[in-house]
């Protein structure tokens, strides 16, 4: 990793994980395999910031630790990349096991339980689906009915509250890092 840490993908430990590595990696991983409109790729880091904002909007009383969990929901992708669901399924259960090990190490590093409570996972997934819907319509060329088909019909009151931002990777990296540090300090 750029921090100098050595991360064993098969046996990751919390001491091998740094927010600087996560933020940098996610700021250079394109969602939608880069097939989006705009001058910059829409990155997993930007997506994670949006999911966190949506999660807070949907769960205004959520404790800071669960806001941090929302920010880190795709953190393993800093080393394993972002694969679309059909590819993950084709790779098989090994991908899920790797993702689970990395997630557990990341959560422990930042003071979260290795496995999130089911209700929190559902709430984050709900925010993640709204983010995917917004991305599909705003930057990936989907019509609203197509987005509804693939990501479910979303709460119309929330659709106009969030706009996709395409920014240089270093700006996104810095915002992601800052958000994580702010949440950690406030906890």
> Where are the domains positioned within the chain?
14-186
Q: pLDDT category, 88, cuts 50, 70, 90?
A: confident
Question: Higher confidence at residue 84 or residue 134?
Answer: 134
Q: Confidence class of residue 67 from pLDDT cuts 50, 70 and 90?
A: very high
Q: How far apart are alpha carbons 25 and 86 in whole angstroms?
A: 23
Band (84; pLDDT cuts 50, 70, 90):
confident
| Residue 85 reports pLDDT greater than 80 | no
Average pLDDT over residues 78-87: 83
Mean pLDDT of 49-74: 97
Q: Is it the case that residue 62 has pLDDT exceeding 90?
A: yes
pLDDT, position 83: 81
Query: Over the chain, what is the mean pLDDT?
Result: 94
- In angstroms, the CA 178 to CA 25 distance is 15
pLDDT in tens, 101-143: 999 999 999 999 999 999 999 999 999 999 999 999 999 999 9
d(CA 18, CA 22): 7
pLDDT at 157 over 80: yes
CA-CA distance, 129 to 53, in Å (whole number)? 13
Contacts for 18 with CB less than 8 Å, ≥ 6 apart: 1, 3, 5
* Four-way CATH pick for 14-186: 3.40.50.620, 1.20.140.10, 3.30.200.20, 1.10.3210.10: 1.10.3210.10
pLDDT at 86: 75
């Amino acid at each position: 990793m750029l921090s100098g840490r050595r991360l064993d993908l098969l046996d990751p430990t919390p001491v091998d994980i740094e927010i600087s590595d996560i933020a940098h990696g996610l700021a250079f991983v394109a969602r939608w395999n880069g097939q989006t409109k705009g001058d910059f790729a829409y990155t997993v880091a930007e997506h994670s910031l949006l999911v966190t904002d949506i999660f807070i909007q949907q769960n205004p009383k959520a404790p800071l630790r669960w806001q941090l969990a929302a920010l880190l929901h795709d953190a393993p992708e800093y080393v394993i990349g972002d694969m679309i669901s059909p590819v993950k399924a084709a790779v098989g259960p090994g991908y899920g096991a790797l993702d689970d090990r990395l997630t557990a190490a990341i959560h422990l590093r930042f003071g979260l339980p290795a496995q999130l409570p089911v209700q929190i996972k559902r709430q984050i997934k709900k925010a993640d689906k709204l983010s995917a819907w917004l991305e599909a319509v705003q930057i990936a060329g989907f019509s609203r009915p197509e987005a509804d088909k693939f990501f479910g019909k979303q709460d119309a009151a929330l659709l106009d509250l969030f706009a996709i931002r395409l920014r240089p990777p270093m700006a996104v990296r810095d915002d992601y890092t800052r958000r994580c540090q702010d949440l950690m300090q406030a906890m």
